[in-house]
Structure 1
Amino acid sequence: MFGLDAFHLARLQFAFTVSFHILFPAITIGLASFLAVLEGLWLKTKNETYRDLYHFWVKAFAVNFGMGVVSGLVMAYEFGTNWSGFSQFAGSITGPMLTYEVLTAFFLEAGFLGVMLFGWNRVGRGLHFFATCMVALGTILSTFWILASNSWMQTPQGYSIQNGVVVPESWMQIIFNPSFPFRLLHMSTAAFLATAFFVGASAAWHLLRGNKTPAVKKMLSMSLWMALIVSPIQAFLGDAHGLNTLEHQPAKIAAIEGHWENPPGEATPLILFGIPDMEQEKTKYAVEIPYLGSLILTHSLEKQVPALKTFPKEDRPNSTIVFWSFRVMAGLGMLMILLGVTSLWLRYKKRLYDSRPFLWFTLLMGPSGLLAMVAGWFTTEIGRQPWVVYGVLRTRDAVSPHSALQMTFSLIAFIVIYASVFGIGYVYLIRLIKKGPVEGEGKEEIHGGPGQHHTPSRPLSAVDASKKKPEGKE
């Protein structure tokens, strides 16, 4: 397929499944915390707008959570089917950490999810709020363990190799490896930002259509406050993460920068745009800013950034890809900051809900958080190559011995199934969002008998809730 061998097809398949999957946990993490905030504000202020927003977004959360669980199970199986060499070599570390994620995070989420989704007006307000908070905590714990495992693959420590396999020696060092704190904060913040722009775009869509209810205005306002405050924080966290990567994975930084060699005594320029050529070992059509590369990455005008030519060819990441994936992520991040600052100016001018150009800007930025996250993961994972466990296990030694035909068939099957199953899920999610918040939903429970209108508790029946049945029919 596409002239690729089984090894590259296995990589392509995992890249496809993980890129698809990451969209769901990101929104789940952000929405869970958003729901906890909404319910807490409703309990404190008794403002029914917060309650209406809670019931609107809890349906989207339920659908997104279900799709995230299903897509995540596929990846767990792929470790054994396509990457058996990795599982055999490092399973003694990654296996327990994924188990801890299930025991501490998934069980916590699943245990309280039923109360959160179906317990409104069936349990006490305090208990329901506690259940919502526990689900939110579960998503954070899940993020903790998944990123601990991934970070260990990036900066491994606390282990020894015995008889050709990894043996854990210090779980504290394994979990809290050098890159883990930076990845945890950067990823969690990215999930909150992705959700904020998703919520903000939903509100902008309704406002552009003339729906200016208090609930729609409130969710736009809350999402833009998040964008204003958190986007600059994310830029700071990204800088700290970059410095950590420079220390532990200098080849990745060199590839991101498209930087090939260091002339003696010259500071490193920042290449804004260009086309890195792995064969010719140079970045074509480079647009550079002198000294800025050294200033950003070393916080000095004298120190040089490591160059790709200082690393053996077989140890260099693909600069052509990570050079641009990083710039997509960084460019979207700058647009996020711009949107947040613009929203502050419009608040001051009291035009936040009426400026159609700004609302269109907000709507178009809806997927920006998710796109930036996927671009960031491309940068992180492709930049780690040719290692699956950095400096310890090469990716080629981790793949299962499948044929190109087998990998082609499975990749095509994944594309078809994902496009159909999750495509339907996305369509339904959009229908939920287009429906908009319902005023007074959840105020009281109505036990609808035959011929009686009621608001269903089941998320998958929410879209058609407003359709009345013909008289005399059930």
Structure 2
Amino acid sequence: MDALVLARMQFAANITFHILFPTINIAMGWMLLFFRWRWLKTQDAAWLQAYRFWTKVFALSFALGVVSGITMSFQFGTNWPGFMEKAGNIAGPLLGYEVLTAFFLEAGFLGIMLFGHGRVSERVHLCATLLVAVGTTLSAFWILSLNSWMQTPQGHELINGEFFAKDWWAIIFNPSLPYRLSHKLLASGLTVAFFLAAVSAWQMLKGRAQASSAKVMRVGLTLGAVLIPVQIFVGDLHGLNTLAHQPAKVAAMEGVWQTEKGAPLLLFAWPNERTRSNDFALAIPKGASLILTHDPEGEIRGLNEFQGAHPPVAPLFFGFRIMVGLGLLMLAFSWAGLWLYRRRGWRLEAMPRWLLWGLTGMGFSGWLATVAGWYVTEIGRQPFIVYGLLRTADVASSTPAPMIAATLAGYVSLYLGLIVAYVSVIKYMAEKGLPSEAQTSSSTLTQGGLQA
């Protein structure tokens, strides 16, 4: 492989690892706020137990997300120096806003949220939790604003090959931002929903259920059942927006080679770029046109119209189907689980074991769907780094391929180890539980609050 391919693989490895943890923490911050509010309203120690357990998960995810994010930011200079040279006038301020308004807000109040319970008043601690949740969401906003501008650039001018801002409002609120931001926030909510349900299910299967497990299961299933239909609707809107601005990406996702009306929806196929056709195709007639244009006879531009300027087809084709397939599984498990849970009186021990095992298996389905969707988004922009204006090959560094390959191997080995360690720690925490911590905290809460 040449240096360009290796550099892209290295950046992909970094962002694949990094994106896992913001995907959890964006929605987890709001879940912690909900648990905290329920504790204050009901004084039920189970809600406090849930808050304290999942705060530890949040802190662990936050640490890994920050470390991997710093590593990723260095790669703009090591692997893609031309990007900041040409687009730094746009990218630099947006990344700076993310640090100033989001990271400082999130990190500044994290200490109070983690260690302030019983040392500050209930109101101050609740506000700290709120500000951490707001910080995680603002961080997502600024990062997605930059990424969306790279996908649908506007509000700039090109002078001697460099991008300069003309209209910051147009840059920040570019045409694809509303859809990408909504899609990502919902993906985070679904990731957390199935994470919550999976840990509760695992505790039940192992005979380690806590007082909070039944409540957390109910929250996870309800959140998943509510959000997945919304995500399907937003995903449809996102697809229509992508068709309007990045038709080559949509053509690759659907495996459409020739421009045609009434394009079929391929349930399965094997895209063949050598023959520019699909092998082993199983299709629904006119399905793609109906979904993408809302007209069974709608026209979809084929990949052959974008010779030399369309992304690789197979990663987008399969990545999109993995994402959609996982979404349908989420719909089935959340609706079936919520129906059975409610029918059995909200008693976790009454849930059938097959469903508990299924929910456990779906624990990290949000991660898989997010990564698949992110690959579709980022690979689908190729061969451009700023869509239609700046090619990825033109901003790559001159670092020798063997050096990139060596660091890539190091990154992948380290990240695989960290993922195994992360999952192992969550498993250990779920099985160990918090047998007395919530009770201890509730008994000293009033004294600590008065002293503060």
Does residue 194 (structure 1) correspond to residue 191 (structure 2)? The answer is yes
Runs of 4+ aligned residues of structure 1 deviating over 6 Å after TM superposition are none
Match for residue 300 of structure 1? 295
Shift in Å at residue 181 of structure 1?
0.5
- TM-score w.r.t. structure 2 length? 0.95
- Render the CA deviation track for 1:104-160: whole Å, top value 9, x for unaligned: 000001111111001000000000000000000000000000000000000000000
Change (3 A) 1:415 1:213: closer
Give the letter for the 1:94 counterpart: A
Match of 1:86 among 69, 83, 94: 83
Shift in Å at residue 422 of structure 1?
5.2
Q: Distance in 2 between matches of 1:159 and 1:232?
A: 36
Match for residue 284 of structure 1? 279
Does residue 337 (structure 1) correspond to residue 331 (structure 2)? The answer is yes
Match for residue 443 of structure 1? 442
The answer as to whether partners of 2:148 and 2:177 remain within 8 angstroms in 1 is yes
The answer as to whether partners of 2:210 and 2:433 remain within 8 angstroms in 1 is no
Q: Distance in 1 between matches of 2:40 and 2:202?
A: 28
Match for residue 260 of structure 1? 257
Change (3 A) 1:426 1:365: closer
Q: Within 5 A, what are the aligned runs for 1:279-428?
A: 279-312=274-307, 314-350=308-344, 353=348, 354-421=351-418, 423-428=420-425
Q: Distance in 1 between matches of 2:431 and 2:378?
A: 35
- Render the CA deviation track for 1:74-112: whole Å, top value 9, x for unaligned: 110000110011111111111110110000000001111
Q: Distance in 2 between matches of 1:191 and 1:171?
A: 27
Match for residue 461 of structure 1? none
Give the letter for the 2:428 counterpart: R
Match for residue 124 of structure 2? 127
Unpaired runs of 5+ residues, structure 2, are 446-452
**Identity of matched residues, %:** 45
Q: Distance in 2 between matches of 1:50 and 1:106?
A: 27
Unpaired runs of 5+ residues, structure 1, are 447-474
Match of 2:235 among 238, 246, 257: 238
- For the residue of structure 2 that corresponds to 1:443, the secondary structure is helix
Match of 1:145 among 134, 138, 142: 142
Give the letter for the 1:340 counterpart: S
Aligned CA RMSD, in angstroms, stands at 1.4
Q: Distance in 1 between matches of 2:220 and 2:338?
A: 12
- TM-score w.r.t. structure 1 length? 0.90
Q: Distance in 2 between matches of 1:215 and 1:138?
A: 26
Q: Within 5 A, what are the aligned runs for 1:161-240?
A: 161-240=158-237
- For the residue of structure 2 that corresponds to 1:156, the secondary structure is coil
Q: Distance in 1 between matches of 2:419 and 2:339?
A: 39
**Total equivalences in the alignment:** 440
Shift in Å at residue 345 of structure 1?
2.5
The answer as to whether partners of 2:267 and 2:283 remain within 8 angstroms in 1 is yes
Q: Distance in 2 between matches of 1:34 and 1:325?
A: 29
Q: Distance in 2 between matches of 1:335 and 1:119?
A: 39
Q: Distance in 2 between matches of 1:322 and 1:395?
A: 18
The answer as to whether partners of 1:14 and 1:78 remain within 8 angstroms in 2 is yes
Q: Distance in 2 between matches of 1:261 and 1:297?
A: 16
Q: Distance in 2 between matches of 1:435 and 1:6?
A: 47
Give the letter for the 2:111 counterpart: G
- For the residue of structure 1 that corresponds to 2:299, the secondary structure is coil
Shift in Å at residue 421 of structure 1?
4.6
Q: Distance in 2 between matches of 1:153 and 1:388?
A: 7
- For the residue of structure 2 that corresponds to 1:214, the secondary structure is coil
Give the letter for the 1:280 counterpart: T
Q: Distance in 1 between matches of 2:329 and 2:440?
A: 35
